[in-house]
Amino acid sequence: TGTETPDGQAIPNETATETAAPPSGGAVLRIATTTSLYDTGLLDMIEDTYEAETGVDLLISSQGTGKAIELATRCDVDILLVHSPSQEQAFMDAGYGVNHRCIAYNFFQIVGPEADPAGIAGMDPVEGFRVLYEKGTAGEPGVLFVSRGDNSGTHSKEKTLWDMAGYDYETEVQGSGEWYIEAGKGMGETLVLASEKDAYTLTDEGTFLAFQTDLVLTPIIDQGDALLNRYSIIAVNPEQCPSVNIEEANNFIDWIISDEGKGLIGSFGVEDYGKALFTPLYPPECTASPFNCTCAESVSKA
Amino acid sequence: MIEAQNITKIYGEMEVLHGVDLSVGEGDIMGIIGPSGSGKSTFLRILDLIEPPDSGDLSLFDVNVVKERDRVVEVRRRMGMLFQKPIVFNTSVYENVALGLKYRHVGKNEIDRSVKELLEEVGLARYLHSNARNLSGGEQQRVSLARVLVTDPEILFLDEPTANLDPKSSKTIERLVTRMNRDRGMTVVMNTHDMLQGQRVAQRIGVMIGGDILQVGSPREIFYAPESTKIANFVGVDNIHDGKVLRREHQITAVEVAGTILYVGESPPEQSDRVKVIFRGEDVTLGIGKTAQTSARNILNGTIAEISDIAPFVHIKVDCGFPVSALVTVRSAEEMDLSEGKPAWVSIKASALHLIAESEESEG
Amino acid sequence: MIEAQNITKIYGEMEVLHGVDLSVGEGDIMGIIGPSGSGKSTFLRILDLIEPPDSGDLSLFDVNVVKERDRVVEVRRRMGMLFQKPIVFNTSVYENVALGLKYRHVGKNEIDRSVKELLEEVGLARYLHSNARNLSGGEQQRVSLARVLVTDPEILFLDEPTANLDPKSSKTIERLVTRMNRDRGMTVVMNTHDMLQGQRVAQRIGVMIGGDILQVGSPREIFYAPESTKIANFVGVDNIHDGKVLRREHQITAVEVAGTILYVGESPPEQSDRVKVIFRGEDVTLGIGKTAQTSARNILNGTIAEISDIAPFVHIKVDCGFPVSALVTVRSAEEMDLSEGKPAWVSIKASALHLIAESEESEG
Amino acid sequence: MNEIVQGFIEAIELILSLDPDVIEITVRSLYVSLSATFFASLVALPLGAYIYFNEFRGKRAVINLLQTLYALPTVIVGLAVFLMLSRSGPFGFLGMLFTPQGMIVAQTILIIPLITGLTVSALSGIDREMRYTIISLGSSQLQSIITILREARFAILAAVLLGFGRAIAEVGTVMLIGGNIRGFTRVLTTAIALNTSMGNFSFSIALGIILLGVALVVNVVLNLVQER
Amino acid sequence: MNEIVQGFIEAIELILSLDPDVIEITVRSLYVSLSATFFASLVALPLGAYIYFNEFRGKRAVINLLQTLYALPTVIVGLAVFLMLSRSGPFGFLGMLFTPQGMIVAQTILIIPLITGLTVSALSGIDREMRYTIISLGSSQLQSIITILREARFAILAAVLLGFGRAIAEVGTVMLIGGNIRGFTRVLTTAIALNTSMGNFSFSIALGIILLGVALVVNVVLNLVQER
Ligand SMILES: Nc1ncnc2c1ncn2[C@@H]1O[C@H](COP(=O)(O)OP(=O)(O)OP(=O)(O)O)[C@@H](O)[C@H]1O
Ligand SMILES: Nc1ncnc2c1ncn2[C@@H]1O[C@H](COP(=O)(O)OP(=O)(O)OP(=O)(O)O)[C@@H](O)[C@H]1O
Ligand SMILES: [Mg+2]
Ligand SMILES: [Mg+2]
């Protein structure tokens, strides 16, 4: 059920203009996002479209998930665009964010050498992780796993997977042997490292597609709910941060969850990779498991 | 103008100046001579406020510069110094010479006039736009000098100003300095190892030996009546002999030197009878054959012991019971057809002899 | 040993040397004198293979170094040069002096011995461990000299070796160099602006003026028989007069100068009757009262026109129809009680007079 | 390998086609780094000359400190400046975070110790007598500084060029302070970092070549200016 | 602001507690950067002195080029070395990618132009007569180089320290070539970058302080060695 894109990609134009603020001259909106999302190029396209439509200047900066959240916490941005549900939750719970909306999803992939020395192709992701762990700790030749090791959204997902497989990340996985390589850097570089070492790694689809030509890796497991990768948008709480341009932030969120925004997201990547990189979320799918989030309610009217 | 009292300077663990006193009046030209390494340059640097003394008092233009440190720049701008090592900046000769005037915010036209005038005087007018680094040693020294003179200092310190110059250029520089002294009342303190230059230019000379100024006096006094054998040695007195004062009569002192009695035209030192009798080789008249009639009071006969050429003079040592050194010109040596072993007489005026108390000489 | 032919050197657009020729034999001491900026240092740098000439031929130790560029280091190691600007390295005096030997891979013990010996000779033994940068000007010059001498070069180039030294230290250095020349047959080429040093030390002297070597000869020839008035002027000949050759008899030439006939002890130049008669002030004997009996052939009566002190001599100009300059010692000037306007006679030996063809002087 | 060749080709194409995006970030790089170099030099050159000229207690320690700061990581400078300029920092009210002005501030701070330290060591080779000469000609403190800087101009220019090189090549502070915002704070180095993380290696190399080209031009121009 | 104070406190804690992870990456940083500085100096110092000593056509151009390379971005050097060392690159067989040795190679390449250029400018202030003196004492090419380097040792040491500072502070090449692998190629700067991207600002600053502390120690030690 994983990678196929849901239907309903019609792009209803009406909603687009509905929320668009009147061209607001010098208005600027600061957005912090993560590198893996930014590096796909999606946000450049969104920026171009949005700026052309509204005249609002989008200032998008990308960094590690942790730092992006830190920027939001410190009131240096108006909007956060990330894909790390547990960290998002913590951010919301601490009262730093308002108007959390999930906007799209895709799937992480376990990629590795074509020969698949651990023999996990076709397995359920959690099962695959368990086999990797067993063979890796047993010292089976060729079984290596490269971890992002940087507390990014992807890394969070990896930790969740180890947890689901029944291992305690900090005590049992980290430092469990040479098979487990902690890279501590961005997705692309982690992929390159895995490729050079003929190792497995967990990656988001967009980055993998961007780097594919330089890699000797192929997707080994790319299906299963456990690999779900949910992208969300959050406005910074104006009560915490008076400097936040909450009005424009809300306008933007409304725009992106509008059919126009989702249409753009849903079509992104077709040109370059022959398929869409993201699947926009629509109600009621988003409110149900495994998403459990809000994806369509206008924020400015809340 | 300059009052230095008890100046000491210590480098590391070496005391280079041991309490030097010097006072120079306005408009004076003071020469300082002394052996290499005796502290002349160090002393000049202290006077020019480049380095502070370790102790002692220094006042310049009646400003006590040791106490009033904040007036140092002001005082320094009324002085100028030419350093022993000629330093030129890596720019044109013109820029080099203009520097001090620029520091004083002198107008462009005046700078232009003064710089060109001085370069003309030191004979470097045609190098106006050359890079000073490419000049010859002597040319660089003249650039450095022009750079100082152009600021028209009230006190001028010169450290070996003509070390790199041929006699003709040296003369030009000497003339320039004495003229500025005369016309503008510029006070000059000059280190020189060129004794003749010291005699030519300076009104008074200080002799610095081993970190002390041992004697200050007119060139005449320094060269003909040095106060100690150390000084006598340094200023090139060829004849230094132990003597014993016998008696004193009619302004004349009779001194016995190695059995011979010499008549000296000055009173003996107070302290003791043991003295050194000194006189210069050029004050000794040498003759062959019958003794000539001269007004010299001391005529000694002897034989020529040694002839050595120290051009343009010939240095002749005559054994008269004790060795007497005489300097004669090459021509007269030839005329007399001197040779070793030949008998000769020497004659020395009583007034050319000078007495030093022997006790002073313990250090030696 | 050294054969330089037609050496030219151009800096920028200025030709500094215009085809200089010089040959120096093994064991010679050659002095080069000349005005500041005439190209002496440049020439020495070329001889020491520091800078290449722009044209001309140079052979050292019979190696044509212009053609055989690859032998330059080898040849250079057989030579040594003391530069005009004394350069010391920022290390101890010992290390400074040892450098050349280290380059030659001399053993540690031998280095130690040689270095200490030479520092002793130049009087710097007590500064062995001082940083050379902290030495006085003269001390640095001696360090530089010791550094060269310790390598025991077959050819030694000295560029103003005693510029920063007092007369006593200079003498020490001169003695050291002449001794090495005598004992080891070391060839020496020395630039000096100290004319007396040139006369004392060198066997032959070259006069460089404006980028040309105008005359090479013994000190005697250079100072007493310069070949042109340019040279005469530079070497300090005080009396230069226009004359006309009247006749020549018994080895003596009669020349008319301003109506007076002078007898000259040499033949006139071939080319013309118009000559310059030159003689040095120290060859002029001055007298008061009745004319003394001397072997000088020219005795002229006149009146004293000018007395000037150029210590330690007195310079006296006597008007004898034409001005004659005489140098007398301070003492004899005093004795004669000279004053301006007083009548006096001068006497000059025929052999002290020298003739120069006037045509040579067109430039001068 | 291939990517390097490819990078050269792309660089040439980008230059020939006058790609507006590339021109924009190149100009911004130059603007930011030249400004930073200018302001840093304004502080660092006199400071370095001052340290050289004056003997004071702890001079040696100051020099050691400056040389230690050669090892100042750009990320740390970036972070420190970030914490200052961030909304919740003491200078947050200036609104300089994520602006070119903020980047200039950060780079200026980064290269001041560099240029100061190099100035001191450039001057260290100068004769003591040169200093004496300047002083004795009656210079004020400021005049001494100007004279000595002019005298050592070759080495001083090298120090300034090094500061500029460090500024234009660094990515740590401009990334943190500027945020690599397209069309606003993106400069050559952050663009290179971005393209590298996107896997566009040859494009990164092309940008690197352009960066070096720009540096070469600055270099040659400043050298010509120095020689006048 | 707070984070900076916090960073100082954490730095002190880390140092006092001798945190083994921190010690490990600190030692690795030192090992990699000191090695790179050593190898680079071995090439760069003689090269710089050679350039200073010899007059040749294009000397000016070589110096300009070296000064241009001051602006060499670490990422570009990292990329180029990466492409060389990667499996599909010409030196892939060496297996040096993602190893400390590879990091040394990259840093060496990075700082060679720096040290060379600074050597040339350090020597530029030396009197022409000094060069003449050395030559006339009969030195070979190599002996001249050693003598002149020793003479300008203060400025030369400054150049080496700058090279070291640049190496230990840079993150671009060590990230790309080393890969920031925990326990194997992670060094102080990559750890700082990682912690910054994770938002652990105070920990980053603590590491930065440790880095500067290490640089200070190297600095003082090398200065003492130079003064002997
Ligand atoms: N900066 C310094 N540090 C240490 N010692 C010094 C320093 N300057 C001078 N000296 C020492 O002080 C002594 C006097 O030096 P100074 O330069 O004053 O001598 P000088 O009389 O000028 O000699 P010269 O005639 O050779 O120039 C010398 O022995 C020298 O070594
Ligand atoms: N590197 C150079 N570049 C340009 N001009 C130079 C250079 N070296 C010397 N000159 C010029 O060449 C001429 C001769 O210089 P040199 O140093 O040979 O003179 P010198 O006879 O040694 O003079 P001094 O007695 O003053 O030392 C001078 O006019 C000088 O300006
Ligand atoms: Mg001196
Ligand atoms: Mg010369």
pLDDT at C236: 86
Distance between Cα B208 and ligand 1 center (Å)? 12
Residue B297 lies in a domain: yes
CA distance B343 to B361: 34
pLDDT at C290: 73
Per residue in B116-149, pLDDT tens? 999 999 999 999 999 999 999 999 999 999 999 9
Per residue in C314-333, pLDDT tens? 889 999 889 999 888 776 77
Q: What are phi and psi of C299, to 5 degrees?
A: -125, 125
Residues C37 and C59 in one domain: yes
- In Å, how far from its chain's centre is CA E3? 29
CA distance B109 to A18: 76
Residue C245 lies in a domain: yes
> Looking at this protein, which amino acid is placed at residue B155?
I
Which chains contact E through at least 3 pairs of Cβ atoms less than 8 Å apart? A, C, D
* Residue percentage of chain C with pLDDT more than 70: 95
Count Cα neighbours of A248 within 13 Å in the Cβ-side half-sphere. Answer: 24
What's the rounded mean pLDDT across residues D91-104? 92
pLDDT at C199: 85
pLDDT at C298: 86
CA distance A193 to E5: 36
pLDDT over threshold 50, residue A247: yes
pLDDT over threshold 70, residue A15: no
Residues B172 and B306 in one domain: no
Per residue in A55-104, pLDDT tens? 999 999 998 888 999 999 989 999 999 999 989 999 999 999 999 999 99
Residue nearest to atom 27 of ligand 2 (CA): B137
Residue C120 lies in a domain: yes
Residues with CB in 5 Å of ion ligand 3: B 41, 84; C 136-137
Residue of C17, C36, C42 with the most ligand 2 atoms within 8 Å of its CB, for mutation? C42
Q: With contacts defined as CB-CB under 8 Å, which chain E residues touch A150?
A: 194, 197-198
DSSP C142-201: HHHHHHHHTT--SEEEEESTTTT--HHHHHHHHHHHHHHHHHH--EEEEE-S-HHHHHHH
Identify the weakest region by mean pLDDT among B332-336, C171-175, C204-208, E17-21. B332-336
Q: Give the angle C29-C31-C36 at the CA atoms, nearest 5°.
A: 160
CA distance E28 to E211: 12
Per residue in B315-329, pLDDT tens? 899 998 899 998 887
Per-residue confidence band for A10, with pLDDT thresholds at 50, 70 and 90: very low
Residue B72 lies in a domain: yes
Q: Would you call E138 and C104 a contact, using CB atoms and an 8 Å cutoff?
A: yes
Identify the weakest region by mean pLDDT among B109-118, B207-216, B309-318, C241-250. B309-318
Judged by its nearest atom, the ligand closest to the C-alpha of residue B33 is 1
Per residue in A185-214, pLDDT tens? 889 889 999 998 999 999 998 889 888 888
DSSP-derived pairing of the beta strands C343-348 and C298-310: antiparallel
Per residue in E24-59, pLDDT tens? 999 999 999 999 999 999 999 999 999 998 889 999
For the Cβ of C42 lying below 6 angstroms from any atom of ligand 2, the answer is yes
Tokens 């430039």 identify what position? C363
pLDDT over threshold 90, residue D198: no
Q: With contacts defined as CB-CB under 8 Å, which chain B residues touch D133?
A: 83, 87, 144
Q: What is the DSSP letter of C129?
A: T
Residue B291 lies in a domain: yes
pLDDT over threshold 60, residue A20: no
Cβ of D127 under 8 Å from any chain B Cβ? Answer: yes
For the Cβ of C192 lying below 6 angstroms from any atom of ligand 2, the answer is no
- In the three-class reduction of DSSP (H, G, I as helix; E, B as strand; rest coil), residue C76 is classed as helix
Q: Would you call B311 and C196 a contact, using CB atoms and an 8 Å cutoff?
A: yes
Question: What CATH number corresponds to the domain at position C256?
Answer: 2.40.50.100
Domain boundaries in chain D?
A: 26-185
**Which comes out higher in pLDDT, residue B113 or E3?**
B113
pLDDT over threshold 50, residue B361: no
Q: What are phi and psi of B3, to 5 degrees?
A: -130, 105
Q: Would you call B166 and C41 a contact, using CB atoms and an 8 Å cutoff?
A: no
CA distances in angstroms from C84 to A172, B167, C223, D85, E133, listed in the order given: 78, 17, 24, 60, 11
DSSP-derived pairing of the beta strands A28-34 and C252-257: unpaired
What's the rounded mean pLDDT across residues A164-182? 92
CA distance A209 to A221: 15
Residue nearest to atom 25 of ligand 2 (CA): C36
Q: How many CB atoms lie within 10 A of CB A22?
A: 7
Mean pLDDT (chain D) is 91
Per residue in C115-170, pLDDT tens? 999 999 999 999 999 999 999 999 999 999 999 999 999 999 999 998 888 888 89
For the Cβ of C11 lying below 6 angstroms from any atom of ligand 2, the answer is yes
pLDDT at C295: 54
Cβ of E55 under 8 Å from any chain C Cβ? Answer: no
Residues B274 and B218 in one domain: no
pLDDT over threshold 90, residue C93: yes
Question: Could you say which of C168, C196, C224 is where a domain stops?
Answer: C224
pLDDT at B296: 54
The minimal CB distance from D71 to the residues E65, E215, E223 is found for E215
Tokens of A37: 């999302």
What's the rounded mean pLDDT across residues D118-122? 92
CA distance E3 to E6: 5
Residues C213 and C354 in one domain: no
ipTM of the complex: 0.88
Q: Would you call D196 and A188 a contact, using CB atoms and an 8 Å cutoff?
A: yes
Per-residue confidence band for E4, with pLDDT thresholds at 50, 70 and 90: confident
- Scan residues 245-264 of C and list those with Cβ closer than 8 Å to B: none
Q: Would you call B100 and D137 a contact, using CB atoms and an 8 Å cutoff?
A: yes
CATH topology of domain D26-185: MetI-like fold (1.10.3720)
Mean pLDDT (chain A) is 86
Its domain, for residue B108, covers 2-224
* Residue percentage of chain C with pLDDT more than 90: 58
- In the three-class reduction of DSSP (H, G, I as helix; E, B as strand; rest coil), residue A84 is classed as coil
Residue A38 CB burial class (10 angstroms; 0-12, 13-18, ≥19): buried
What is the 3-class SS of D35-90, one letter each residue?
Answer: HHHHHHHHHHHHHHHHHHHCCCCCHHHHHHHHHHHCCCCHHHHHHHHHHHHCCCCC
Residues B88 and B191 in one domain: yes
Residue C53 lies in a domain: yes
Q: Would you call A182 and E183 a contact, using CB atoms and an 8 Å cutoff?
A: yes
Residue C112 lies in a domain: yes
pLDDT at C361: 46
Number of domains forming the structure of chain C: 2
pLDDT at B347: 86
Q: How far is E28 from chain A (nearest CA, A)?
A: 16
Q: How far is B310 from chain D (nearest CA, A)?
A: 36
The minimal CB distance from B103 to the residues D127, D132, D139 is found for D139
For the Cβ of C139 lying below 6 angstroms from any atom of ligand 1, the answer is yes
Q: Would you call A182 and E182 a contact, using CB atoms and an 8 Å cutoff?
A: yes
Tokens of A231: 């992208």
Per-residue confidence band for C359, with pLDDT thresholds at 50, 70 and 90: low
What's the rounded mean pLDDT across residues B75-92? 94
pLDDT over threshold 70, residue A5: no
CA distances in angstroms from D41 to A89, D125, D177, E118, E130, listed in the order given: 48, 20, 21, 17, 30
**Which comes out higher in pLDDT, residue A296 or E140?**
E140
Distance between Cα C63 and ligand 2 center (Å)? 27
Mean pLDDT (chain C) is 89
Judged by its nearest atom, the ligand closest to the C-alpha of residue B165 is 2
pTM reported for the whole predicted model? 0.89
Residues B162 and B257 in one domain: no
- Best mutation target among D55, D126, D127, D133 (most B Cβ atoms within 10 Å) is D133
DSSP chain E: -HHHHHHHHHHHHHHHHT-HHHHHHHHHHHHHHHHHHHHHHHHHHHHHHHHHH---TTHHHHHHHHHHGGG--HHHHHHHHHHHHSTTSTTGGG--TTSHHHHHHHHHHHHHHHHHHHHHHHHHTS-HHHHHHHHHTT--HHHHHHHHHHHTHHHHHHHHHHHHHHHHH--HHIIIII---TTTT--HHHHHHHHHHTT-HHHHHHHHHHHHHHHHHHHHHHHHHHH-
Residue B229 lies in a domain: no
- Best mutation target among C47, C73, C111 (most E Cβ atoms within 10 Å) is C73
What's the rounded mean pLDDT across residues D201-224? 91
Per residue in B275-319, pLDDT tens? 999 998 888 888 887 766 555 578 888 899 988 876 667 889 999
pLDDT over threshold 70, residue A4: no
Residues C246 and C357 in one domain: yes
For the Cβ of B137 lying below 6 angstroms from any atom of ligand 2, the answer is yes
Count Cα neighbours of E202 within 13 Å in the Cβ-side half-sphere. Answer: 14
CA distance B231 to B210: 11
Question: Could you say which of C178, C200, C224 is where a domain stops?
Answer: C224
Mention every residue, 6+ apart, whose C-beta is less than 8 A from residue E55: none
Residue nearest to atom 25 of ligand 1 (CA): B36
Mean pLDDT (chain B) is 89
Per residue in C176-194, pLDDT tens? 999 999 999 999 999 998 8
Q: With contacts defined as CB-CB under 8 Å, which chain E residues touch C85?
A: 127, 129
Which atom in ligand 1 lies closest to the alpha carbon of residue B43?
A: 18
pLDDT at A11: 30
CA distances in angstroms from C311 to B315, B352, C346, listed in the order given: 19, 16, 21
pLDDT at C363: 43
Q: Would you call E196 and A67 a contact, using CB atoms and an 8 Å cutoff?
A: yes
- Best mutation target among B71, B90, B151 (most D Cβ atoms within 10 Å) is B90
pLDDT at B124: 94
